[in-house]
Amino acid sequence: MTAREIRNFLIAAGLLALCALLPVYGSPYWLTMGTTMAMFAVLATSWALFSGPTHYISLATAAFFGVGTFVTGLGFQALPFWALPLIAAGIGAVLAALVGLVTLRLSGVYFVIFTLGMAEMVRQVVTWVQNQTGHRGMYVLTSITEREIYWMLLGLGALVYLLGWLIGRSRLGFALRIIGNDETVAKHSGIDTALAKVALFMVPGAVAAATGAMLAPRYIYIEPATAFAPLLSFQVVIMALLGGTGRLWGPVAGVIPFTLLWEVITRQAPNQTLLLLGLAFLLIVYVLPGGFVGLWDRLRRRYGGHG
Amino acid sequence: MIRRTILTGAAAAALFAGSLGAASAQDTLLLGAAAPQTGPLAGGATVTHWPAVRLWVQQTNAAGGLQVGDQQMTIELVEYDDQTNPQQAIQAAQRMATQDEVDFMVAPYSTGLNLAAAPIFAQLGYPMITGTAVTDQQPALAAQFPNMFFVLGRTSVMAQDTAQLLVDMRERGELGDRVALVNVADAFGIEMAGISKAILEENGFEIVYETSYPLGTQDLAPVIDGARAAEADAFIAWSYPGDTFALTDQAIVQNFAPQVFFTAVATAFPAYQERFGDQIEGVLGMGGVNADDPAFQEFAQAHMEMAGQAPDYWASAATYAALEILGQAIEGAGTTDRAEVLAYLQDRSHEYETILGPVNFNENNDNERYWTVGQWQDGVFRGVASQGRDGVAEVEAFDGWN
């Protein structure tokens, strides 16, 4: 590792420790906010791992997330809790692979539409299974506190960062950047583009499912309508794009201001939260095409920053 | 929406400062309320939840406020929208408790949102008296959240009472054997259909038509068509608001008029009557009230004057009653200290006077006297089956859409 990488690692570890101590120095209010931010940070960062380099906009986050909450809902009494996010991640990855095999050969808008429909499809399948089996509403009553959920999410976040860093250095990451720039060139260079895309699409699928599994004890009552709420997918996309997908830390730079702003708007003008989502999107398209990351890089270039 | 005046520009600063400024005087009691104003459940909350909450605050203040010890305290309501989102419901409860520092909180609207907010209420030590959560998990929930109280009743008992009503009607010779049983394909519908089916079959009814439909289905003509083709004597639908309206609509269009026509949630809504007028005479639905009780009539009148709409004939009164109970517990404890008010509520010997009649809680924090089935009779939705409530009306046979 170079000196710069070691420096970055130390900074990241320091920031992580600072976050992990939030329950110690922060008020319960900030712990609740922190849990929400950690959730979105994990979801948006893992989303950007795939959608950043490939430019495939995935709206399937809610589908994976919902599957994860149902894994916990079904399994928390029979299995130790630590096993549930792992199982959820496995199911999420398999589901992502299946979806990827079907859709990632298609390009652009087909993929977007399919992933949007997928959350609804999975919701209907879950409901159908419940109906067939006469299954009742699920109550996830555990002794898991918000603090523990927060730490679990932080741990998952650290894993996602590590994974992102490794992928960025790997042949897979390189292949995906080529695919993102020009898929035809990538094919002609001998890259198995479908395989590379499917492999990477499994990452956000697994992470979102694990996140859902961790958050189920927070919701207590699991029902398909809230577990698969499509709004989640859009929030993740907007936050990630606002921060910028060009760098690993980009999505978090979008998550934090967006979550704070959402909170302020909820307090002051509760009916306008969806408007915020729309305005943020316009802002990204017209002013910040590269998100905050793009802005940062532009400013650094202009004012002669280096390093 | 927050009702106190704050400069919008200072909003962000206020958030970080961790306080909303407006100092509350000693004689004001802050009451926080977060429930849907947007999202899928906003329609239901606007009918059932918000007017009842605001009415109670308005009436209590008009009467001079609550008598807390030797102090007379008026109530200031702090409102938030939870966007029908459990995540936001949790955040709103946390915000009201730690940022607005409210003295007490109104329980949210609907089973899901109440359960999502329950851990935060428990952790922060706020009593949570819910008028809109229906579940069968009271013992488990009360064990985990000893601050949580249930006014509206149990789902399984409502399904049982509905089935029992059919059994009684058949005994009186008012009903045949053939039942069509349909449900919305959702935890609620599946559970209710399962319970009522078991009881009906046990009593020798024949389920001649059985189906379910996904939540949000627009076209329910095939369901009514199927029930009619099966020549059902009774039609039982465990439905949600949208489908309650759609099923009734189709039954009228196809002139499907069995001896019993039952739809579940929202049958008790004033909008149901507005939409179908006199045609719904004899329709059965979930819930009910003692519509002839002067206490309820007074409530309905005041509700009409304040909100410009009638209350629903079920959970509106329960939501209002939940606040009456909270108010009486605060007055009874003689303090705004939450731990003492909670201790007062947890003392099972206390009984509360509400528009539902007297209410007390059992060892599972559960109210055992509640309405289960109602019927539209002479333009009013009367309770025709209940657990331990007075004023149960005689159920009438349904004589068609007229």
Residue B8 has pLDDT above 70, yes or no: no
Report the range of poorest mean pLDDT among A48-62, B14-28, B282-296, B365-379. B14-28
Q: Distance between CA B14 and CA B138 in Å, rounded?
A: 39
- Angle, helices A193-219 vs B86-98, to 10°: value is 50
Residue A305: pLDDT band (50, 70, 90) is: low
Q: Which range has highest mean pLDDT (A132-136, B134-138, B156-160, B260-264)?
A: B260-264
Question: What's B353's domain CATH number?
Answer: 3.40.50.2300
Token digits for A208? 């979102």
Q: Which residues of B touch A135 (CB under 8 A)?
A: 187, 190
Residue B148 has pLDDT above 50, yes or no: yes
Whether B310 and B213 share a structural domain: no
Question: Given CB atoms, is A132 within the 8 Å cutoff of chain B?
Answer: no
Q: Which residues of A touch B188 (CB under 8 A)?
A: 137
Whether B27 and B97 share a structural domain: yes
Compare A294 and B62 and report the one with higher pLDDT. B62
Which pLDDT value is given to residue A211? 96
Percent of chain A at pLDDT exceeding 90: 32
Question: Given CB atoms, is B124 within the 8 Å cutoff of chain A?
Answer: yes
Report the range of poorest mean pLDDT among A103-117, A248-262, B101-115. A103-117
Which pLDDT value is given to residue A136? 59
Token digits for B67? 């008598």
pLDDT tens figures, B180-220: 999 988 777 888 898 899 999 999 999 999 999 887 788 99
Which pLDDT value is given to residue B24? 42
Which pLDDT value is given to residue B329? 96
Instruction: Determine, for residues A266 and B91 on separate chains, whether the beta-carbon distance falls below 8 Å.
Output: yes
**Phi–psi pair at B178, nearest 5 degrees:** -95, 120
Report the range of poorest mean pLDDT among A4-13, A156-165, B72-81. A4-13
Instruction: Determine, for residues B38 and A271 on separate chains, whether the beta-carbon distance falls below 8 Å.
Output: yes
Which pLDDT value is given to residue A270? 64
B88 part of a folded domain: yes
User: Dihedral sign, CA of B333, B334, B339, B341?
Assistant: positive
Whether B278 and B362 share a structural domain: no
Looking at the DSSP assignment, which residues form a beta bridge with residue B71? B68
Which pLDDT value is given to residue A286? 85
- Closest partner residue to A137 (CB to CB) among B38, B99, B191 is B191
Residue A10: pLDDT band (50, 70, 90) is: confident
Instruction: Determine, for residues A137 and B135 on separate chains, whether the beta-carbon distance falls below 8 Å.
Output: yes
Q: Kindly report the average pLDDT of chain B as a whole number.
A: 89
Whether B276 and B339 share a structural domain: no
Report the range of poorest mean pLDDT among A215-219, B18-22, B59-63, B298-302. B18-22
- Mean pLDDT, range B378-401, rounded to an integer: 91
pLDDT tens figures, B320-379: 999 999 999 999 999 999 999 999 999 999 999 999 999 999 999 999 999 999 999 999
Instruction: Determine, for residues A36 and B124 on separate chains, whether the beta-carbon distance falls below 8 Å.
Output: no
Q: Which residues of A touch B40 (CB under 8 A)?
A: 225
- Mean pLDDT, range B62-91, rounded to an integer: 91
Residue B393: pLDDT band (50, 70, 90) is: very high
Looking at the DSSP assignment, which residues form a beta bridge with residue B80? B34
Best mutation target among B4, B50, B87 (most A Cβ atoms within 10 Å) is: B87
B393 part of a folded domain: no
Nearest CA to B71 among B30, B103, B28? B28
Residue A108 has pLDDT above 70, yes or no: yes
Reported pTM: 0.82
Which pLDDT value is given to residue B149? 96
Question: Given CB atoms, is A276 within the 8 Å cutoff of chain B?
Answer: no
Residue B98 has pLDDT above 70, yes or no: yes
ipTM of this predicted structure: 0.76
Compare A4 and B19 and report the one with higher pLDDT. A4
Q: Which residues of B touch A256 (CB under 8 A)?
A: none
Cβ neighbours of residue A109 under 8 Å, at least 6 residues apart? Answer: none
- Mean pLDDT, range B105-130, rounded to an integer: 92
Residue A281 has pLDDT above 90, yes or no: no
What total of structural domains would you count in chain B?
A: 2
Question: Given CB atoms, is B2 within the 8 Å cutoff of chain A?
Answer: yes
Residue A34 has pLDDT above 90, yes or no: yes
- Angle, helices B315-333 vs B50-62, to 10°: value is 40
- Mean pLDDT, range A94-102, rounded to an integer: 90
Whether B123 and B262 share a structural domain: no
Question: Given CB atoms, is B19 within the 8 Å cutoff of chain A?
Answer: no
Instruction: Determine, for residues A28 and B98 on separate chains, whether the beta-carbon distance falls below 8 Å.
Output: yes
Token digits for A138? 């699920």
Residue A134: pLDDT band (50, 70, 90) is: low
Question: Given CB atoms, is B72 within the 8 Å cutoff of chain A?
Answer: no
What does the domain layout of chain A look like in residue ranges? 3-229
Tell me how many residue pairs between chain A and chain B have CB atoms under 8 A apart. Answer: 127
Residue B6 has pLDDT above 70, yes or no: no
Q: Distance between CA A226 and CA B217 in Å, rounded?
A: 17
Alpha carbon of residue A163 to chain centroid: 13
The answer to whether B32 and B80 have CB atoms below 8 angstroms apart is yes
Question: Given CB atoms, is A129 within the 8 Å cutoff of chain B?
Answer: no
List the domain range (segments joined by +) for residue B324. 8-153+293-371
Residue B17: pLDDT band (50, 70, 90) is: very low
Whether B283 and B203 share a structural domain: yes
Element (H, E) at A295: helix A291-302
**How many residues are recorded in chain B?**
402
Residue A300 has pLDDT above 90, yes or no: no
Question: Given CB atoms, is A125 within the 8 Å cutoff of chain B?
Answer: no
Question: Given CB atoms, is A272 within the 8 Å cutoff of chain B?
Answer: no
Instruction: Determine, for residues A127 and B83 on separate chains, whether the beta-carbon distance falls below 8 Å.
Output: no
Percent of chain B at pLDDT exceeding 90: 72
Half-sphere exposure of residue B236: CA atoms within 13 angstroms, side-chain side:
31
B65 part of a folded domain: yes
Q: What is the CA radius of gyration of chain A?
A: 19
> Strands, DSSP E only, in B249-311?
260-263, 284-286
B:163-192 residues touching chain A, CB 8 A cutoff? 185-188, 190-191
Question: Given CB atoms, is B400 within the 8 Å cutoff of chain A?
Answer: no
Token digits for A101? 């095999």
Whether B380 and B322 share a structural domain: no
Which pLDDT value is given to residue A47? 94
Token pair 């979930």 is found at B286
Which pLDDT value is given to residue A137? 62
The answer to whether A202 and A93 have CB atoms below 8 angstroms apart is yes
Whether B281 and B311 share a structural domain: no
Residue B19 has pLDDT above 80, yes or no: no
Alpha carbon of residue B254 to chain centroid: 31
Question: Given CB atoms, is A273 within the 8 Å cutoff of chain B?
Answer: yes
Residue B26: pLDDT band (50, 70, 90) is: low
Residue B111: pLDDT band (50, 70, 90) is: confident
Question: Given CB atoms, is A263 within the 8 Å cutoff of chain B?
Answer: yes
Alpha-carbon gap: B2 to the closest alpha carbon of chain A (Å): 6
Q: Distance between CA B364 and CA B346 in Å, rounded?
A: 10
Instruction: Determine, for residues B141 and A29 on separate chains, whether the beta-carbon distance falls below 8 Å.
Output: no
Q: Which range has highest mean pLDDT (A55-69, A277-291, B178-192)?
A: A55-69
> Strands, DSSP E only, in B3-103?
28-35, 66-68, 71-81
Question: Given CB atoms, is B252 within the 8 Å cutoff of chain A?
Answer: no
Alpha-carbon gap: A261 to the closest alpha carbon of chain B (Å): 8
